[in-house]
Amino acid sequence: MQEVSYNRYLAEVDYYLTNGGLFLTAEKEKVNTMVIGWGGINVFWNKQVFLAAVRKSRYTHKLIEKTGEFTVSVPLERDLKQALDFCGTKSGRDFDKFKACGLTPIPGQKINAPVIGECPLHYECRVIYKQDMLPGNLDPGIKGEFYPDPDYHTFYIGKIVVCYLT
C-alpha cells in the first residue's frame, strides 16, 4: 500500500465516473459492491470528501445506512468493463458480485468496508453527512429524465480517511 494525496488522481476519478463508473463497496451482513457514475471528490467543512449518490432501492444503501462507511475503488487502466457492467446492473440481494465477477475483497486499512483488489486506487470514507433528495427541489427536466419512478438518491458525503494505491 502506498498512501497518496486525495487529490492526486482527480482527473482520473472524473474520467471513470463518466466512462464506466467506479466501484462503491460497503459491508455489514455481507460485502457488496455497486457502480457509481455520479459523485466526486470535493472539500466541505475543511475536510476532503467523496460525494456518492446511492439510490434508496440499492442493497448498498442499506449497508451504508447501517455502517456509515464505504470505499471507492478506481480501475485506473485496468480492464474491468465486464465486472463494472455486471455490478452496475445486478443487485447484491440476488448475487454475490465478488464471486460472479472474480473480484477480490481486500480489507480496508482504516474502515471495515473492503476495497476491490483488482483496482489500484482506493478511497476509504466515513459518512459525515447524508441528505435524501427532495423531489420538490429538483428541476422538472432532470426529474422526468432520471426519475420516471420515484427511486431517488441519498447523497452521502464521506470524509476521506485514507487514499492509497495497491
- Ordered by start, the domain boundaries in the chain are 2-165
How far is residue 20's CA from residue 49's CA, in Å, rounded to a whole number? 21
Architecture of domain 2-165 in CATH? Roll (2.30)
Task: State the maximum Cα–Cα separation within the chain, in Å, rounded to a whole number.
Answer: 45
Instruction: Give the chain's residues under pLDDT 70.
Output: none
Q: Cβ distance 121 to 9 under 8 Å?
A: yes
pLDDT, residue 96, reads: 93
The pTM is what?
0.95
Q: Which one-letter amino acid corresponds to residue 138?
A: L
pLDDT, residue 28, reads: 87
Q: Cβ distance 68 to 54 under 8 Å?
A: no
- Phi (first) and psi of residue 32, to 5 degrees: -145, 145
pLDDT, residue 78, reads: 80
pLDDT, residue 29, reads: 79
Q: Shortest CA distance to 117 belongs to which of 75, 89, 70, 148?
A: 75
**Cα 150 to Cα 27, 38, 110, 147, distances in angstroms:** 26, 18, 35, 6
